[in-house]
Structure 1
Amino acid sequence: MATAVASSSTTQDWPGRWDHVDKILERAGPSTDADGFLPGDAVKTFLRETVKILVIGAGGLGCEILSNLAMMGFKDITVIDMDTIDVSNLNRQFLFRESDVGKPKATVAAEFIMARVPGCKVTPYYGKIQDHPESFYLGFNLVITGLDSVEARRWMNATLVGMVDEDEGMETMKPMIDGGTEGFKGQATVILPTISHCYECTLHMHTPPTAFPICTIANTPRLPEHCIEWASVLEWPKVFKDKKIDTDDPDHIEWLYSQASARAKNYSIEGVTWSLTQGVVKNIIPAIASTNAIIAAACCNEAFKLVTNSAPYLDSYVMYVGNDSVYTYTFKPEKRPDCPVCGGEVIDVSVPKDWKVEKLYEWLMEKQDLQLKKPSLSTAAGPLYFSSPPSLEEATRKNLDKLVTELLAEGEEITVTDSRLPFQMSLKIKFE
């Protein structure tokens, strides 16, 4: 359950506190839209007394974003994070100290910012973004996401797109600024729900999380990762029922490792190690503090520009690559007409008549613009193939070997559900 704690520094701003920001807000720049920017006290007051900004994620990127926003003059910030502080976070998540280990990231980050920046109120929520209704998100002017989860980004994106109500006007359109980093690489993008592209439109540009077809895991494992996934996805629920795997518990990782090792031995597969088991289960992403700082700065600059209209905002995607040199590239992604979030509600799919259900399932798994994990397929007549729970997977597995033409008619729809999909997707089947 999410918890919230709010307090505010009682120290007032000292004279000249915001001089560095006011220089931007007191006069128009060479590329400022003269019709959209009104320099002076009104925009300063709006920034510091009216704007409510939501930050999702208080990790390496989130810490930088919170610090930047507070020092730019944003005074009403809310932060959501579902994690607690680990020792491994301390080298780059600079709002935390060793004494904070085990405490909620959102709460500690909020307290740190308010103790350092006079007059700034930061409201923390320790929990999931899915815990909040649409009405909660309608209360903000914009949202910044600094997440390490594609699923969470997709959920937030779909929620903001779904909130837009043409009858209610632009008040229901909440811009989303998304930042992400991986090692020396990073990106930032500005999304105006229903107006620009959405996050789902650009999903094919992101490296997909490692995922394997459940039928391969269950029947024909070929890689050590297949054995590890089998242990975590199929064997764990069978043995422990409703008990959830704790990826930070060494005993849980050890159990998965021993099960995966035994399965690998049965299939003459080499390469299952304890560290690989941990890496597959936790989906570990490398992080570098300097990259976080660069991307957080980009996100916060865009937030400042969107709120004040003091300069043109990013249109609408910037990539940063620092592996070999400092390289940036800015471009405008297309809004996909077949996007399942901001485009059509039903996707037309052409299927060869000799495809079996297993081939259709594997094709869905390989689609870069969907990035599914363990999809389940059903029709109006009932289940086609369910990847989970194990009992339903076993009951519907026989359909994998059947031709699609045996089970579906031309124009019939397949409903696809998946833990990575923040929505229910429909495919209209057409036979080639």
Structure 2
Amino acid sequence: MADLDVPQSNAFQVSMPDHVVPESKTRDLDKLLLRPGNLVGPDFYPGPDLRDDIRDYVRILVVGAGGLGCELLKDLALSGFSKLDVIDMDRIEVTNLNRQFLFRLEDVGKPKAEVAAKRVMERVSGVEIVPHFSRIEDKEIEFYNDFNIIALGLDSIEARRYINTIACSFLEYEEDDTPRRETIKPMVDGGTEGFKGHARVIMPGVTPCFDCTIWLFPPQVKFPLCTLAETPRNAAHCIEYAHLIKWPEVQKGRSFDPDEPEHMKWVYDEASKRAELFGIPGVTYSLTQGVVKNIIPAIASTNAIISAACALETLKIVSGCSKTLTNYLAYNGGEGLHTEVTDFERNTDCLVCGPGILIELDTSITLQKFINMLEEYPKLLLSKASVRHGKHSLYMQAPPVLEEMDRPNLSKPLYDLMGRVQKDTLNVFGTMLKNDEKQATSTKVRVVFKGADGVADMDTAIGA
């Protein structure tokens, strides 16, 4: 091949004519937000103002900064959202690095939320991400009400149900049991397992919530205790023996915390001893975490695909640039690019997202007696209940500082605490016994006071 008659330093330089304007960084986003279309929502008003409003005013909370959470933060930042928060209680481990692309080896041991926020802000200009290194349960309920949409990148059914409970608690209903639009807190959820994944849109009161479709999640694998105690056959049996049998036996009532490294290390050490005793190979610290915390295997490409679907649905909800997913997308990469959309129906009797149970009370009943009643009410059987009326806390079981502040309300008539209104709705949080298991849940209770009349100011009544 003949040599090119071009100086080596300029061989790969391409000059751009002066009249050519570089393409906008928001070119693809502009195609969705700046022009009309046939599939847009009824409230879609195209134009640069819409794009700017999304950038300046819309707040998104990303729950989880793992494999899916990292992808979500990146995708949302590149989709025009500049005000993001992320919450995660975990620290980075070496085993995370193969799929959680925002983390590096030098980040091991640091909080996931803080590192993920820092990395995305370094790469996407103009984006502000506030990290929260904490448990989702440690945040006050009103914290979640500050966001327009909650995007979930979780690997736990319990955590999903908790966020679902919080989002549904903000929902209010009209007299005809139709949800008030301004109180709907949308959620976009993604989940992956190997080459499979799902994306779903949850509009409380409109689409099914997690509790409406809890049957979608397969039951967790449980081992007979006799097998664990007498004839373990694999590494998982040894781990569950240490977790379910040895820990209660040795620790004498001390609660096991799967997110406490010291507790997990203890279970790993005991499982290793038992595996050695029975000649069973394969017990590792990462497997111990996987068995105890029911961690599901993840593949980076699946996370990327599901995150893209979730980010797009988030953009649709806030802009109306297209109709949203109705309401569940299943992806199976093991069968090629196989996707299927399903429209699940909402359970109108759902205790979490429904209008609530109707209870008739006497005006003299105290808050304490009402809480005691919830434990015996057939449809609820709700123990350790916390009670809210609108944005006001009547009694919260936790954290301790709130419990101490609300304790004087227990002896006051519920009728007075609710502002002496004849009927209204309470949000109740607690633990419900279901299928022989205790589950954290919330529900709405529509209270009607017999023979009540007159309305007083709620702030005055609560402060009395």
Whole-Å separation in 1 of the counterparts to 2:157 and 2:292: 16
> Is 1:19 aligned to 2:52, yes or no?
no
Task: Specify the alignment match of 1:102 in structure 2.
Answer: 109
> Is 1:254 aligned to 2:269, yes or no?
yes
Whole-Å separation in 1 of the counterparts to 2:376 and 2:244: 24
Q: Is the 8 A contact 1:247 1:253 kept in 2?
A: no
Q: Is the 8 A contact 1:416 1:424 kept in 2?
A: no
> Is 1:40 aligned to 2:47, yes or no?
yes
1:60–1:221 Cα change, 3 Å: same
Q: Is the 8 A contact 1:134 1:163 kept in 2?
A: no
Equivalences for 1:202-213 in 2 at 5 Å?
202-212=213-223
Whole-Å separation in 1 of the counterparts to 2:438 and 2:195: 26
What SS does the aligned partner of 1:103 have? coil
Q: Is the 8 A contact 2:70 2:102 kept in 1?
A: yes
Q: Is the 8 A contact 2:247 2:267 kept in 1?
A: no
> Is 1:416 aligned to 2:423, yes or no?
no
Q: Is the 8 A contact 1:81 1:106 kept in 2?
A: yes
Task: Specify the alignment match of 1:175 in structure 2.
Answer: 186
Task: Specify the alignment match of 2:37 in structure 1.
Answer: 29
Q: Residue type matched to 2:283 in 1?
A: W
Task: Specify the alignment match of 1:354 in structure 2.
Answer: none
Structure 1: unaligned runs, 5 residues or longer: 1-13, 347-377, 385-413, 426-432
Equivalences for 1:210-221 in 2 at 5 Å?
210-212=221-223
Q: TM-score, normalised by structure 1?
A: 0.71
Q: Which has the higher contact order (CA 8 A, sep 6+)?
A: 1
The Cα shift of 1:285 comes to 1.4
Whole-Å separation in 1 of the counterparts to 2:98 and 2:229: 42
The Cα shift of 1:165 comes to 2.2
Task: Specify the alignment match of 1:313 in structure 2.
Answer: 324
Q: Residue type matched to 1:274 in 2?
A: V
1:237–1:274 Cα change, 3 Å: same
Q: Residue type matched to 1:318 in 2?
A: L
The Cα shift of 1:115 comes to 1.3
Q: Is the 8 A contact 1:52 1:140 kept in 2?
A: yes
For the aligned residues, what is the CA RMSD? 3.4
Question: How many pairs are equivalent?
Answer: 343
> Is 1:236 aligned to 2:247, yes or no?
yes
The Cα shift of 1:309 comes to 0.4
Of 319-328 and 186-195, the range deviating more from structure 2: 319-328
Deviation string, structure 1 residues 290-319 (Cα, Å, up to 9, x no partner): 000000000000000001001101010000
Q: Is the 8 A contact 2:238 2:271 kept in 1?
A: no
1:311–1:283 Cα change, 3 Å: same
Task: Specify the alignment match of 1:193 in structure 2.
Answer: 204
Task: Specify the alignment match of 2:405 in structure 1.
Answer: none
Equivalences for 1:294-373 in 2 at 5 Å?
294-343=305-354
Task: Specify the alignment match of 2:78 in structure 1.
Answer: 71
Q: Residue type matched to 2:269 in 1?
A: E
Q: Is the 8 A contact 1:217 1:229 kept in 2?
A: no
Q: Percent identity?
A: 43
Structure 2: unaligned runs, 5 residues or longer: 1-21, 358-374, 382-430, 444-464
Q: Is the 8 A contact 1:217 1:227 kept in 2?
A: no
What SS does the aligned partner of 2:214 have? helix
Of 334-343 and 282-291, the range deviating more from structure 2: 334-343
> Is 1:57 aligned to 2:64, yes or no?
yes
The Cα shift of 1:257 comes to 3.8
> Is 1:274 aligned to 2:297, yes or no?
no
Task: Specify the alignment match of 2:195 in structure 1.
Answer: 184
The Cα shift of 1:183 comes to 0.3
User: Which of 74, 78, 90 does residue 97 from structure 2 map onto?
Assistant: 90
Whole-Å separation in 2 of the counterparts to 1:129 and 1:42: 34
Whole-Å separation in 2 of the counterparts to 1:162 and 1:300: 24
Q: Residue type matched to 2:123 in 1?
A: R
Q: TM-score, normalised by structure 2?
A: 0.66
Whole-Å separation in 1 of the counterparts to 2:119 and 2:291: 33
Equivalences for 1:149-160 in 2 at 5 Å?
149-160=156-167
Deviation string, structure 1 residues 261-306 (Cα, Å, up to 9, x no partner): 76xx7xxxx9685256554224231111100000000000000000
1:420–1:302 Cα change, 3 Å: farther
The Cα shift of 1:199 comes to 1.1
What SS does the aligned partner of 2:152 have? strand
Q: Residue type matched to 1:74 in 2?
A: F
Whole-Å separation in 2 of the counterparts to 1:217 and 1:235: 14
Of 59-68 and 223-232, the range deviating more from structure 2: 223-232
Whole-Å separation in 2 of the counterparts to 1:280 and 1:152: 17
Deviation string, structure 1 residues 232-251 (Cα, Å, up to 9, x no partner): 12431331242646568555
Q: Residue type matched to 1:332 in 2?
A: D
Whole-Å separation in 1 of the counterparts to 2:328 and 2:90: 28
Task: Specify the alignment match of 1:136 in structure 2.
Answer: 143
